[in-house]
Structure 1
Amino acid sequence: MADTRSGNDPAEGPAAARRSRSQRVGLWLGPLLFLLMLLLDLDPGRPEVTRMAALALLMATWWITDAIPLFATALLPLFLFPLLGIERTGDTAPIYFNSTIVLFLGGFMIALTMEKWDVHRRIALWVIRSVGGGPARIVLGFMLAAAFLSMWISNTAAAIMMLPVGLAVILRMEEQFGRDRTRAFSVSIMLGIAYACSAGGIATLVGTPPNLSLQRIFQITFPDAPPIAFGPWFVMALPISAMMLAIAWGLITRVFFRVPEEVTVDREVVESEMRKLGAIAFEERAILGVFAATAFLWVFRAPIVIGPLTVPGWSTLLPYGHLIDDGTVAITMASILFLIPTRSPGAKSRTVMGPGVALRLPWNIVLLFGGGFALAHGFQTTGLARFIGDGFSGLATVPPLLLILVICLAMTFLTELTSNTATTEMVLPIFAAVAVSTGVHPLLLMIPATLSASCAFMMPVATPPNAVVFGSDRVRIAEMARVGLVLNLFGAVVITLIFRALGPLLFGIEPGVLPDWARPGP
């Protein structure tokens, strides 16, 4: 669900407290670029454009280099907006908490409750056991389980949860056939888990933070536009997620790491893990029920329009349905878990979701979201967005399909070395301005950029799942980079083609037509 990278935490130990060379450079380069930008006059007569550009450059430098924790950089608008004459802190502060944050928190509360009662582990083992078969099918089972879990819970947590199960299978194989003969299978399992966690998060709005960033930044930039709802996004992104999962599985098991036929998998490992969980408890059934209901309510809340076909949304049947959004559903269903009493002996809380869940919520990501939203708001209020867009007006002659492909490739490789959440929040306001300037639908550029931010597969630092499996000591950087490079290229093509086919139908995108709600005012 979330990319929980937020910079180094000194509390993690002495090694974590020491800044790398790039962090030290970024720490001083950011303020230097900030001051140099203030000396310029980008838009005569409108000094706030230059000041906002200076702040954006400072935040971008610190986010890219991870000079200070990402969430700390996200706090800069709260005190620099008033100091630079952009906006009062009292007007900026509410931007940090909104319906998108409510959606994120509600979804995360449900996910943490699933982890608390090991529901996610049971789902994963059930999927792996159901797929079964030889080594390639076992890898597919791990990937399907990881992808499904990552649609709803943190992709980091999904990878951490899947890792010990994968290692248990690998260790049993190594005992039977030796480490050298099972090398291909070991790498397949590890890479399969990492790539599936990233691909699975694409499918839902709550699957990964860049998706939620898009939802809110789009609403901030174009307040009169129809909001991006869970259902249309799911219909559009699920095929992309499934295609990336299939390609990753094929590349891993059929091209790069073919497992010898004589190496067979001992299914007893999975069965043993299932037996450890015991019979399904009342609390688990309750969580599964709430989880299933939440997914259904999210997908079918708003009408889903696919060309001439319209699937009506349930919220349209209610007297005040227009006031309900996906955040309403998330927080309502999470609250229900506070009302269901526990029945298992020895339970540490009286209800299925205990009070401790609030302490485990990723508030650093909430602040990172808020900083990105404030940045997008500043781009709009100061006129910096229009200024940047005018500078890219020459792109109006570039074919949309080629423009989308270039954006996908740029975002994919950029996020190999930077936080995908921070990068997305930096570039989305720019892509929105470019779209307006070139006369194309803003989502034609913003959605592919967002999807591509989650498709970085080459480097261990690219995504938390990559880092988790790299720490298993079963994958070399060269192996991850070799498969990841090919998968990155496939990802850019898949996103371009599938979005180009489904995006216009689901989001009302007319090629070459700028919607009225996106047209700049006088």
Structure 2
Amino acid sequence: MTALLRVASGPSVGCIVGALLLANGVPFGPAYIAGLVAWMAFWWVTEAVPIEVTALLPIIVIPFSGIYERNALGETCAPYADKNVFFFLGGFGLGLAIERTDLHRIGALYLLRIAGRNGANVIGAFMLATAMISMWVNNTATTMLMLPLAMSAIAIQSDRRFAAPLLIGIAFASSIGGMATLVGTAPNIFFTSFLAKEGKSIDFLAWVYVAGPVSAFLLVGAWIWLVYFLFPVRRFQVAIPEEWLDEFRGRRSLSRDQWITLAVFLSAAMTWILKEPILRIASASGWDSVHAVLQRVEDPWVAMAALVTLLLVPFSKPILAWKDVEGVPWGVLMLLGGGLSLAKAIEASSLDQRIASVAAHFAGLHPWIVLTLVVAIVIAISELASNLATATALIPILSEAGPAMGIDQISLLTAVVLASSCGFMLPVATPPNTLVYSQRKFPAGDMIRAGFVVNLLAILAIPIAVLQLRFLLGNIGP
């Protein structure tokens, strides 16, 4: 398919979908928005144009839909400045500071010191370090931070078999680690934004309780599959670069900038984790003033407060300069805003209710079967589209379908969000996959074989975890 044909096929698909719905009695508003959904989904999956460009389509198309009676352009554009867009911006800032001060490298080096020279343990240490960083830093940035360390280790090994499991393990761990926290990856942040539009919220710790076990299971499962079955390296003795050993011996303590960055990072992380438990204690104890203040300390506020702090201190030479922030991937922020704008339009046009009525036909199936099918479909889509594009396309569509299928909304959307981060097979499925494959240290077939099994583990684990642990998500409300 030529580039021109791919570009033209997007609006063509949208027009066909909209026309078919109109012909079947669907009102103009929902039919128009359904056509836009089809158009954007086609461009996101085929990447006929950059996915960030696709995310700008709502601004151009939605004002003519008639779904907003007044200030149509303002209503369409407002989600691009949603508070959770700034949540992501603040998270990027924290990641930049960690990179600038080399905290990620220090953590990885200490893990390797503990792991020793056994091949399986070293790969496990790299994967654990990557996953831990990815819990707080963008998946792509995490992979870029870990790649230099990995390539240094690979360069001095005599056995070439070490490269494939190490690089693939880093890519997989970047995606898996990001699933575990609400700030770890863009689909999770989009999910919180979508819930906020519905008048609901999800507790940071509640998400960790549900997503954490899935993330841990997939991380351990991927490691075992890579180092014990697909690429047996458990008897391989790793040579550790001499400069790393020198760094171990020469390091006395953290620098001033590293201490400041670590303090800001830990303050943000502990606020995200402890805010809801403290809110409940304050409410139960009658501490009204404490409760009122903490209610205003929302997660995006914490992220932006951390970023502003890093831009200000130390006053003589701040950890981050504004030119560093200019390097933030603004396209991802536009993608997040575009998904929120589309979700708002789907709700305003009542398209979500029509989808829910169709989903009612699946009401007779067991919830586990329904969730397994949904997870498998989402993972298949995420192999071809980015995780954020997958989440932003599917969450608004499926938001009202859960109750109609006998599954509560939050459980279904949690499964969708987790599955959207599970594109493990194809080198083009995620930026981490693409980054490690671009090193040309293994054939694409190695990643496909590795990812196929990890995808199966995700299809098994996500429905079980969501159904068994969904009571932990019960702390959801206005």
Fold shared per TM-score above 0.5: yes
Q: Which amino acid aligns with 2:196?
A: Q
Which letter does structure 1 place at the counterpart of 2:6?
Answer: G
Is 2:239 the counterpart of 1:265?
A: yes
Distance 1:383 1:338, change over 3 A: same
Aligned pairs for 1:394-433 within 5 A: 394-433=361-400
CA RMSD of aligned residues (A): 2.6
**Equivalent runs, 1:353-372 vs 2, <5 Å:** 353-372=320-339
Task: Name the CA distance, whole Å, in 2 between partners of 1:262 and 1:34.
Answer: 54
Aligned to 2:87: 103
Sort the Cα spacing of 1:304 and 1:228 in 2 relative to 1 into closer, same or farther, 3 A.
farther
Contact 2:203 2:475 in 1 (8 A): no
Count of residues in Structure 1 that have an aligned counterpart in Structure 2: 471
Residues 424, 451 of structure 2: 8 Å contact kept: yes
**Residue 226 (structure 2) aligns with:** 252
CA gap 1:276/1:499 in 2 versus in 1, 3 angstroms: farther
Q: Write out the 4+ residue segments of structure 1 that deviate beyond 6 Å after TM superposition.
A: 275-278
Q: Deviations over 1:330-357 (max 9, x none)?
A: 11222222332167xxxxxx21222223
Could you tell me how far 1:42 is from its partner in structure 2? Answer: 5.9
Contact 1:190 1:469 in 2 (8 A): yes
The within-5 A match list for 1:10-89 is: 21=1, 23-40=3-20, 41=22, 44=25, 46-87=27-68, 88-89=72-73
Q: 1:185 aligns with which of 157, 162, 165?
A: 162
- Matched residue, 2:103: 119
- Structure 1 residue 315 displacement after superposition: 10
Which of 352, 356, 359 lines up with 2:319 in the alignment? 352
In the alignment, the residues of structure 2 paired with residue 136 and residue 377 of structure 1 have an alpha-carbon distance, to the nearest angstrom, of 47
Residues 1:311 and 1:443: Cα distance change in structure 2 (over 3 Å):
farther
Aligned-residue sequence identity (percent) comes to: 31
User: Closer, same or farther in 2 for the Cα pair 1:498/1:296, shift >3 Å?
Assistant: same
- TM-score normalised by the chain length of structure 2: 0.92
**Residues 272 and 42 (structure 1), Cα distance of their counterparts in 2 relative to 1, 3 Å cut:** farther
Answer yes or no: is 1:298 the counterpart of 2:272: yes
- Aligned match of 2:171 in 183, 194, 204? 194
Provide closer, same or farther for how the CA distance between residues 65 and 193 of structure 1 changes in structure 2, counting only shifts above 3 A. Answer: same
Residues 139-288 of structure 1: matches in 2 within 5 Å?
A: 139-174=123-158, 182-220=159-197, 222-223=198-199, 225=200, 227-259=201-233, 261=235, 263-266=237-240, 268=242, 270-272=244-246, 274=248, 280-288=254-262
Match of 1:10 in 2: none
How far residue 46 of structure 1 moved from its aligned partner, in angstroms, is 2.6
2:472 match? 505
Matches within 5 A, 1:475-490: 475-490=442-457
Gaps of 5+ in 2: none
The verdict on how the C-alpha distance between 1:440 and 1:22 changes in structure 2, with shifts beyond 3 A counting, is: farther
Question: How many angstroms does 1:39 deviate by?
Answer: 2.9
- Give the structure 2 partner of residue 333 of structure 1: 306
Distance 1:473 1:108 in 2: 28
Tell me the amino acid that sits aligned with residue 467 of structure 1: T
Q: State how far apart, in whole Å, the 2-side matches of 1:257 and 1:95 are.
A: 46
1:506 Cα offset (Å): 2.9
**Superposition pairs of residues 432-511 of structure 1, within 5 angstroms:** 432-507=399-474
Instruction: Map Cα deviations across residues 373-396 of structure 1 (whole Å, 9 max, x no partner).
Output: 111111111111111111121111
| TM-score when normalising by structure 1 | 0.84
Compare 290-299 and 71-80 and name the one that shifted more.
71-80
What one-letter code is carried by the residue in structure 2 that aligns with 1:237?
Answer: A
Q: Structure 1 residues 34 and 412, CA, compared in 2 at 3 Å: closer, same or farther?
A: closer
SS in 2 for 1:44: coil
Structure 1: which 5+ runs fail to align?
Answer: 1-20, 175-181, 344-349, 510-514, 518-522
Q: How does 1:364-403 map to 2 (within 5 A)?
A: 364-403=331-370
- In structure 2, what residue type is equivalent to 1:334? L
Q: Which moved more, 1:60-69 or 1:276-285?
A: 276-285
1:289 deviates by: 1.0
- Residue 247 of structure 1: SS of its match in structure 2? helix
Q: Distance in 2 between matches of 1:286 and 1:478?
A: 44
Compute the displacement of 1:475 (Å). 1.6
Deviation (angstroms), 1:263: 3.9
Q: Counterpart of 2:33 in structure 1: which amino acid?
A: M
Letter in structure 1 aligned against 2:9: L
| C-alpha distance in 2 between matches for 1:476 and 1:311 | 58
CA shift for structure 1 position 435:
1.4
Amino acid at match of 1:422: A
Kept after mapping to 2: 8 A contact 1:42/1:50 = no
Q: Matched residues in 1 for 2:85 and 2:242: separation?
A: 43
Against the structure 1 CA distance between its residues 260 and 112, is the aligned structure 2 distance closer, same or farther, given a 3 Å change threshold? closer
Separation in structure 2 between the aligned mates of residue 351 and residue 338 of structure 1, nearest angstrom: 6
**In 2, Cα distance between the equivalents of 1:451 and 1:42?**
36
After TM superposition, give the deviation of residue 153 of structure 1 in Å. Answer: 1.3
C-alpha separation in 2, matches of 1:118 and 1:264: 23
For each residue in 1:208-249, what CA deviation from the matched residue of structure 2 results, as whole angstroms up to 9, or x when unmatched? Answer: 1111111112332x22x3x02322112221121111111111
Structure with greater helix share of residues:
2
Question: C-alpha deviations, 1:382-430, integer Å up to 9, x for none?
Answer: 1111111111211111111111111111111211111111111111112
CA deviations over 1:234-282 (Å, ceiling 9, x no partner): 2221121111111111001111111273644336453245579885310
Deviations 1:160-189 (A, max 9, x none): 221221122222112xxxxxxx23222121
Map of 1:346 onto structure 2: none
- Measured after TM superposition, the shift of residue 323 of structure 1 is 2.6
| Whole-angstrom distance in 1 between the partners of 2:315 and 2:107 | 20
